[in-house]
């Protein structure tokens, strides 16, 4: 909420609101994604592909998927 209030009260906020498309990007950290949606509700949010790959790799290791499948999947 702090960021939202700062944007609403600053000169830069008016410039920001004039932009057609604001895109936010992060890893899949749930709290950060939620905060981005609260602060920038009309934006497109993308996930960082490197973090997504790491999450998939970690899941495959944890669930016992063969190394060969890791390489093919990623």
Total number of domains constituting the chain: 1
Q: What is the pTM of this model?
A: 0.50
Residue span of the structural domain in which 53 resides: 2-73
pLDDT at 18: 46
pLDDT digit string, tens, across residues 5-34: 666 665 454 455 545 567 888 888 888 888
CA angle 57, 59, 64 (to 5 degrees): 95
Output the pLDDT for position 29. Answer: 84
Mean pLDDT over all residues of the chain? 78
DSSP, collapsed to helix, strand or coil, labels residue 70 as helix
- Confidence band, pLDDT 50/70/90 cuts, at residue 61: very high
């Amino acid at each position: 909420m702090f960021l939202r209030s700062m944007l609403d009260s600053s000169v830069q906020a008016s410039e920001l609101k004039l932009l057609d498309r604001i895109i936010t990007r992060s890893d899949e950290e749930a709290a950060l994604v939620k905060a981005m949606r609260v602060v920038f509700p009309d934006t497109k949010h993308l996930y960082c592909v490197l973090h997504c790959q790491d999450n998939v790799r970690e899941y495959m290791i944890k669930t016992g998927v063969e190394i060969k499948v890791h390489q093919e999947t990623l």
